[in-house]
Structure 1
Amino acid sequence: MVRLVCLLLLIFSAGVFSQNTATGPHIEVALVSEHNQVRVGDTQWLGVLLSPDKDWHTYWLNPGDSGEAPTIQWQSDANIEFGDIHWPLPKPIQVAHLVNYGYEGVTLLMVPINLKQITKKRISISADLSWLVCKEDCIPGWATLKIDLPVSDTIKLSEHSNLFEQTRLNLPEKHKNTAQFELTSTHLGLQTTLPYQSDWHVFPFRGDVIAHNAEQAWAHRANRSQVVISLSDYFATPSEPLNFLISDGKNGFYVEAIPNDTSGADNNSPSQSLWLMLLFAFIGGLILNIMPCVLPILSMKALSFAQSQKANQWGYPIGVLVSFWLFASIILVLKEAGSAVGWGFHLQEPLLIAGLAFLFTFIAMMLWDLLPKGINLAGVGQSLTGESTFTQQFFTGVLAVIVASPCTAPFMATALGVAMISPMLDTLAIFTALAVGFALPMTLLSLSTRFAALLPKPGAWMQTFKHFLGFPMLATVVWLAWVFLSQTSSFGQLWLLSGLLGFTFFIWLSAKVNRVYCVMSLLLAMTFATFCSVKGTQATKVISKQKNNHFSAQKLTELRNNNHVVLVNMTADWCITCKVNEQVALNNADLQALFEDSKVDYLVGDWTNKNQAIYEYLEQYQRSGVPLYVVYAGNHSKKVLPQVLTPDIVINAIQQAKKEINHATSN
């Protein structure tokens, strides 16, 4: 008896009854007809009425990131032809970071039927239904509903006829508009004609075409409109047309999009508006002035304005512009040659790391007044601390760009990511906007007396401050030596430090004895820089204790397929922002405790040296450099984190991803 009661309760909870209504948890379902009779040869309408509880929803034919569309299997004792479901206009439903497509409230799924011939006076129609009703959790349901209708030459509307009429008003247009689509490696561009300006949303028929939670921004032209949407991670380039519903919530129409003949001609075109990217680059350039790798140089530059207002006003900004243009040109040439390059790519070369170490050592010696009198290396010396000619100011701008190259400021990453895949002129325009933003603060100080008045008044403190700035320079040398170690070996680092020792000795000696020794010290520096770089790369690189968190695309795929939460950290030893984030956020005790969960993983991609797999991963997110932080909720969603992290940002993203996996797997 107890087993029988449990079986009945189970059947009741699933909503399985042989009648025209059923009740399941949080939903009522009914099979209804627009007419009370059925007539031979006419197209008439049946409908499945879904009535979920408040705040619960059911799904469209493509449920989106999660969920399942209702299904209907028809049976009848008469010769009846059943058509397809006529789906009402859906709406995007946000669930955490997921976006589903479906219906909130009462929904009628209309199906046309046609009785081919009379075999009896009364026919029976049954529908085997399945559905999913969701809120934060999801509950499946099943039912077999049945309706009997008499056959008659005269038909009358049923009590549900108004519901059918209201539903027809919420159906998309019957005809399909023509459309074309183009593909890049990461985005889909859809072009079609819109009937009027509105907040249109694209709903694909297939669930593997677009990222459902991606922003959809339309661009309107004279006779055509275009929307660019991020592709799904599971999308495979099709040769057949793609079907979409385009709706603004009040009206909608279907489109059948065919591949554009020019889709393969420009697979690297940027999806974002060029003007928006120029704005991002300009803001990123402004912020770059206060990044840790740049601030000491610009402090010395500001110091020169405090000492004298007679410096050439245009040498510095022109030096910055030329340097960024040269940077862009080198990147374009190398990419055209097939090299994997991005912002900060030069810091992957040990020889350049060694050269920067000698440069920063020289600047520190200059700030401590240890250089021989009269030395003026085209702006590296006097242009930073005294009156400057155009040439000196120009090379100060060059120096500022060189030391800024390891840094990536907020807004800057998105703009540079687009620049790396854009046509040549767009790339140069974005780098120009970045240069203007970077050069603007110092240029305003030299041009405007109002801005210059913000600087402290000259005094004895300036000499002390100048000497103090030598220590950040040496701190930078320490960091560069550490980067050099990771790129070469401990033997290579020994040669570099020996070269720096000899370099500082000959600078000191040249100040005491004769100016000619300064030239010798520079030659020695160049020799040591070359020698230690070659020796370091030939020696066996020091390999740290192996960990199981090294990034690989295969490992990431396996973890996502197993419904793990994965934090991917793309970093490099020469990336100061990366190292700050690791100390401030990623080494947080609460965050480390989350990684103890067997379903939470942390993968680190080290881009200190060239790595094609990491470069290809960065390209997926239109990034040209590090840092890049992405949190994956299995295969259900992903979230790109800001470039400047706090522990709460990372912890909240991981916890949200765990909720999304629990939500999706409960379906």
Structure 2
Amino acid sequence: MELKFFLTFFCFFFYSTLFGLESKIDIFEETKVNILLGEKKGNSLDIGLNFSIEKDWKIYWIYPGDAGSAPILTVLDSKKYDSITPSWPFPEEEYDQTTGLISRIYKNNIIIPYKIFLKKNYENIDELRFKLEYQICKDICIPVTANFILKIPKDNYKNQINIKKIDKYKKTVPKSLLSNSQINFSARKIESNKILLKLSNMSFSDKKEYILKSILIDKEFPELRTKYIAQKKNGFDVLFESEEEIFLTDNSSIVFIKLNDDVFFHKLNISELKNETSQSKYELLIIFITAFFAGFILNFMPCVLPVLGIKINNLLKQTENRNNFYVKLSSFYLSLGILSTFIVFSLVSIFLRSIGISLGWGIQFQSPIFLIFLLSLLLIFTAIAFDLIKISYLQKYFSNNLLNRLVRKNNLFISNYTTGILSTLLATPCTAPMVGSAISYALSQNYLLSIPIFMLMGLGKALPYLLFIIKPNILWYLPKPGIWMKYIKFLIGLLLFVSILWLGKLLVNHYIYSDENYKVQNTYNMWEEFDKDKLLFYIKNNEKVLLDITAEWCINCKINKKFVLEDKGIQKYLKDNNIKLMRADWTFPDKNILDFLKEYNRYGIPFNIFFSESYPDGFIFSEILRKSSFLKILEN
């Protein structure tokens, strides 16, 4: 008896692991459909709606075209789940010249991946019941309804065969344009019923053939079909045509692109065909001005407080000498350190983007190697700035007169140049008003534009020191050196000590936590962990959702939490108004968070966005939150 039970259990386990759990097959006109279970992890399920479609028959995509409707899969046990979200693979587009109808369809075999989140009390259910409604079409469309029961293991479960089947089609699901972000998009209405889409700044290999398919969707437009696609030297021209006149709106359109094996979508605004050269120049001028003032604002962000002590100490030294030449020289070296660091930023960003690596402002603080380097640099040059280390002995080994001049007089060059570098590196965890816009433009547009944008940010950050070069005697308005300087130096030392502890804590986190463990340790009762599928479910159901993207290394994020997000009055308002709270912690590298930020053309944090019926596409708050304006948006 025991042997029989063991063999039965073993056979079931072996079968379910190797061949996978799936529902029974429903058959209609030789078209077969069932549900596959790929993975269960905690309260989440990855399933696939598996269609085997009879020859010459078809089913429809989420944006079906002029006729038809997409399959709708619902869970009948509504109390057992929070959300069910489909991911739609890229379809075929058909155009019937006789009727003028456009259809976007699937033929033959297709698996539509779904993500299901179970309610916490129902993680150990043994089955889920589903209802499927779809249209199967040939000469006419026939509505079909089918019911399924899918067995659910109580423990975590993964079936490699089913996962492989589902992933095959998941790869063809369009994703927001990210690693291809160097591609430039422009769309113009060139006739009453035609739109021309231009893709540029693309690189092609002579040894490879490129096949592009494209679909343009806008709910305010009549259905558009792809009339022709022409490959250019560094991109494509795509012409879309409608049977009716197109009336442009302020809403964003979505273009879906399939380029060989790459599948992505991009939101864009379509404009009338006109000469926009002057407008483009004006927009570029605005970006340059924004970049300059963004750099200037970085001087006053909390992120630069750790190096503020070194700056103050350098200025105090100049008041002792009251020498205009040394004030100008030290200010020049400090400005040079800032500018050279921003130039390095631009060159590194161009190189990494050219090889397809995604970037974000401040993500180097996710690297323990960078933290060790920065800690070492801060310790060494803090000691130099406070004369704890003298480097005049270098003159014994170098006879170069220029070097002698640079290292004499309290190591003028090294202390100021490295202060400029340090102040710039330590400013990178923060995005401030205007900084986000400048960085987003620098990291998403033409490579060559990155250099002037970063240089202008550097000039803006160096502006106070450039003023000292022009008018050094401004410093003479400071009080004369005296006993008060000892107290100032003590305060500076304390500030530096705190900053070194802060960097040390960031470094230690990398060695005592894994990414998942850190998120568990830092989960707040009111806040759900970020999950894009769940967020989309909330938005689809018109729930009010506040998303906060934060990190341990982001000082502005901590200020926002302390004075706004964790304020008792704000928390009470959020709870009383049933606003869902979701938090994404970016302390460690997380591609999903970076991808989400890039969907909103953002490359740094803090990032706070609010979704509601009034803001279905989300309202993005300023990087520095204020209680009054924050509440005003929530109340709207």
TM-score (norm 2): 0.52
Correspondence 1:259-274 to 2 at 5 A: 273-274=283-284
**2:319 pairs with 1:306:** yes
2:364 equivalent among 337, 342, 346: 346
Quick one: which amino acid aligns to residue 586 of structure 2? W
User: Are 2:340 and 1:322 equivalent residues in the alignment?
Assistant: yes
Confirm whether residue 648 of structure 1 aligns to residue 628 of structure 2. yes
Is the counterpart of residue 282 in structure 1 residue 292 in structure 2? yes
1:196 alignment counterpart:
none
For the residues of structure 2 that align with 1:315 and 1:396, how far apart are their CA atoms? 9
Letter paired with 1:245: F
* Partners of 1:269 and 1:421 within 8 A in 2: no
The answer to whether 1:580 aligns with 2:559 is: yes
Task: Report Cα offsets for 1:260-313 as digits up to 9, x if no partner.
Answer: 9xxx9x989999922111111111111111112224143234334323434325
- Shifted more, 598-607 versus 356-365: the winner is 356-365
Superposition pairs of residues 288-437 of structure 1, within 5 angstroms: 288-295=298-305, 296=308, 297-308=310-321, 309=323, 310-311=325-326, 312=329, 313-362=331-380, 365=383, 370-371=388-389, 387-437=410-460
What letter matches 1:281 in structure 2?
A
Q: How does 1:515-664 map to 2 (within 5 A)?
A: 543-544=520-521, 546=523, 549-597=528-576, 599-634=578-613, 636-656=616-636
Query: Relative to 1, partners in 2 of residues 1:390 and 1:607: Cα closer, same or farther, differing over 3 Å?
Result: same
1:319–1:395 Cα contact (<8 Å) kept: yes
Instruction: Summarize the alignment of residues 41-440 of structure 1 with structure 2, pairs less than 5 Å apart.
Output: 177=192, 180-182=195-197, 207=219, 239-241=240-242, 243-245=245-247, 273-295=283-305, 296=308, 297-308=310-321, 309=323, 310-311=325-326, 312=329, 313-362=331-380, 365=383, 370-371=388-389, 387-440=410-463
Instruction: Note if contact 1:335-1:341 (Cα within 8 Å) is conserved in structure 2.
Output: yes
CA spacing shift, 1:368–1:325, aligned 2, 3 Å: closer
Structure number with greater Rg is 1
Of 479-488 and 358-367, deviating more is 358-367
- The letter of the residue matching 1:277 is I
Aligned with 1:289: secondary structure?
Answer: helix
Code of the residue aligned with 2:499 in structure 1: it is T
**Equivalent residue number for residue 36 of structure 2:** none
Q: Does structure 2 retain, via aligned residues, the 8 Å contact 1:417–1:624? A: yes
The answer to whether the 8 A contact 2:430-2:556 is kept is: yes
Instruction: Call closer, same or farther: CA 1:259–1:642 in 2, change over 3 Å.
Output: closer
Distance 1:322 1:369, change over 3 A: closer
Using the TM superposition, name which of 271-280 and 464-473 deviates more.
271-280
For residue 655 of structure 1, report the CA deviation from its aligned partner: 1.7
Out of 558-567 and 454-463, give the one that drifted further. Answer: 454-463
SS at match of 1:342: coil
Tell me, in whole angstroms, the C-alpha distance in 2 between the residues paired with 1:180 and 1:335: 30
Alignment CA distance shift 1:558-1:369 (3 Å): same
Query: Counterparts of 1:540 and 1:292 in 2: how far apart (Å)?
Result: 28
Q: Give distance in 1, aligned partners of 2:537 and 2:406.
A: 55
| Kept after mapping to 1: 8 A contact 2:195/2:240 | no
Q: Unaligned stretches of 5+ in structure 1?
A: 1-174, 186-203, 211-236, 249-257, 491-536, 657-667
Check whether the contact 2:193–2:245 (CA below 8 A) recurs between aligned residues. Answer: no
- Report how many residues are paired: 379
Contact 1:489–1:539 (CA under 8 A) maintained in structure 2: no
Structure 1 residue corresponding to 2:490, chosen from 460, 464, 467? 467
Cα distance between partner residues in 1 of 2:296 and 2:268: 26
State the shift of 1:545 in Å.
Answer: 5.8
Distance 1:385 1:595, change over 3 A: farther
**Quick one: percent identity of the two aligned structures?**
24
What TM-score, normalized to structure 1? Answer: 0.50
Q: Is the alpha carbon distance of 1:348 and 1:586 closer, same or farther for their aligned partners in structure 2, counting shifts above 3 Å?
A: same
Q: Rate the CA distance shift 1:487–1:275 in 2: closer, same or farther, 3 A.
A: farther
Match in the other structure for 2:210: none
Q: SS where residue 645 of structure 1 aligns?
A: coil
How far residue 317 of structure 1 moved from its aligned partner, in angstroms, is: 1.8
Shift of 1:391: 4.8
d(CA) in 2 for partners of 1:321, 1:286: 12
The alignment partner of 2:556 has SS state of: helix
Contact 1:367 1:467 in 2 (8 A): no
Unaligned runs of 5+ in 2: 1-189, 201-215, 223-237, 258-262, 270-279, 399-404
| Worse-superposed segment, 582-591 or 302-311 | 302-311
Partner-residue secondary structure (3-state), 2:546: strand
Aligned equivalents of 1:181, 1:454: Cα separation in 2 = 62
Q: Does the aligned pair in 1 maintain the 2:362–2:429 contact within 8 Å?
A: yes
Distance 1:597 1:239, change over 3 A: farther
The structural deviation recorded for 1:443 is 2.1
Q: Decide whether the 8 Å contact of 2:551 with 2:587 is kept in 1.
A: yes
Amino acid at match of 1:292: P
1:244 Cα deviation from its structure 2 partner: 4.0
Distance 1:328 1:282 in 2: 15
Work out the CA distance in 1 between the residues paired with 2:366 and 2:293: 26
Letter in 2 for 1:652: K
Q: Aligned partners of 1:259 and 1:372: how far apart in 2?
A: 61
Question: For residues 482-528 of structure 1, what are the alpha-carbon distances to aligned partners after superposition, in whole Å with 9 as ceiling and x for unaligned?
Answer: 323443316xxxxxxxxxxxxxxxxxxxxxxxxxxxxxxxxxxxxxx
- Code of the residue aligned with 1:332 in structure 2: it is I
> Relative to 1, partners in 2 of residues 1:243 and 1:600: Cα closer, same or farther, differing over 3 Å?
farther
**Do the aligned residues in 2 keep the contact of 1:281 with 1:434 (CA within 8 Å)?**
yes
d(CA) in 2 for partners of 1:276, 1:238:
31
CA distance change for structure 1 residues 267 and 363 in 2, over 3 Å: closer, same or farther?
same
Q: Cα deviation per residue 1:362-392 (whole Å; 9 max; x = unaligned)?
A: 45555666546857899xxx99997554454
